[in-house]
Structure 1
Amino acid sequence: MASRKPDARPIVAVIAFLVIAMCVYFVILGRLAYRMFEQGTAMSIAFGVGIVILPLLGVWIVVSTLRSGIEHQRMAADVVGLGREIDTDPLPRRPSGRIERDAADELFAQIKAEWEADPSDWVSTYRIARAYDYAGDRSRAREMMKRAAEQYREAKR
């Protein structure tokens, strides 16, 4: 039986809605900043500068988050294409759907040995990042996923 690819349209629609809402928000903030600058007092100009800087920071956060998400999706697709995805289907799960702790720790030990054999391989680094996530260590998972992304970009050059 062929596996079906999940429908990404709802996620794309939510992202599009949020980006449009953010654009409207930025227009409103831009008008408010303009009014602050028009007043000409030191305090209103300082507030105006703050009103301009915060949306720019927001844009940077949104763009970097979307870029990371797209890159992680590409990495995941490439890992599947290489036949090296982590098969968690046979592992026992809690009622919440999370993998049982002992099974996650055992899976982590196996994948860690693979990664230690070749830490420069982006696929192994991606897999250990996923294993950290399954084991519940989110901070190390994020750290290793950043490393995997760097290695992935380097390998694609």
Structure 2
Amino acid sequence: MLGALVVTLLLALYVWQIAGRAVALIGTGAPVAIFIGVGVAVIPLVVIFLIGKEFHLAATVQRMADTLAAEGGLPVDDLPRSPGGRIDRAAADEAFVPYREAVEADPQDWGAWYRLAFAYDASGDRKRARSSLRTAASIFRSVHAGA
């Protein structure tokens, strides 16, 4: 968490500098500089949006983990590992099957999607893990709207 905050603060400094350059370009009054300044001003807005989106996801993932922990439904990390700490891929792929089947049986179960995300991660498929976590978060938010 501390690392994320430090990186976010550094990024905020960068965004501040970019925004300052955009304002300076727009302030020149030259049409080309104004056009470039407006284009540069978009960068901080996109960065702020993406950071907000990631923090929102992180907060939702934490709420999901807390909910599953209270229910005793967190995925158990008991996969065999190499001496260096890497998860055995074959074991991860084998353990993946019941998580996938749980999602197929009930595609609206956010807990199943959450556990599937961690199964994908253990299998080394980070892209699908992230996608599954986003699906879990979306379902969780719809179920717990206003909570």
Q: TM above 0.5, one fold?
A: yes
Q: Does 1:29 align with 2:18?
A: yes
List per-residue Cα deviations over 1:121-148 (Å, max 9, x = no partner): 1111111111111111222212211111
Q: Which residue of 2 aligns with 1:141?
A: 129
Distance 2:11 2:129 in 1: 29
- CA 1:154/1:92 → structure 2, altered by over 3 Å: closer, same or farther? same
100-109 vs 14-23, greater mean Cα deviation: 14-23
Change (3 A) 1:137 1:29: closer
- Pair 1:102-2:102 in alignment: no
1:23-62 → structure 2 map (5 Å cutoff):
23-62=12-51
TM-score normalised by structure 2 residue count: 0.86
Find the counterpart in structure 2 of residue 5 from structure 1.
none
* Superposed displacement of residue 69, structure 1: 1.1
Deviation at 1:45, TM superposition (A): 0.8
Identity %: 34
Q: Using the TM superposition, give the Cα deviation of residue 38 of structure 1 relative to its aligned residue in structure 2, in angstroms.
A: 2.5
Q: 1:31 to 1:70 in 2, by over 3 A?
A: same
Cα distance change of structure 1 residues 44 and 112 upon mapping to structure 2, 3 Å threshold: same
Q: Which runs of 5+ in 2 are unaligned?
A: none
Secondary structure in 2 matching 1:55: helix
* Greater RCO structure (CA 8 Å; 6+ sep): 2
| Counterpart pick for 1:66 among 55, 76, 79 | 55
Segments of structure 1 that go 5 or more residues without pairing to the other structure are: 1-10
Deviations 1:32-84 (A, max 9, x none): 22221232222211221122111111111111111111111111121111111
**TM, length-normalised to structure 1:** 0.81
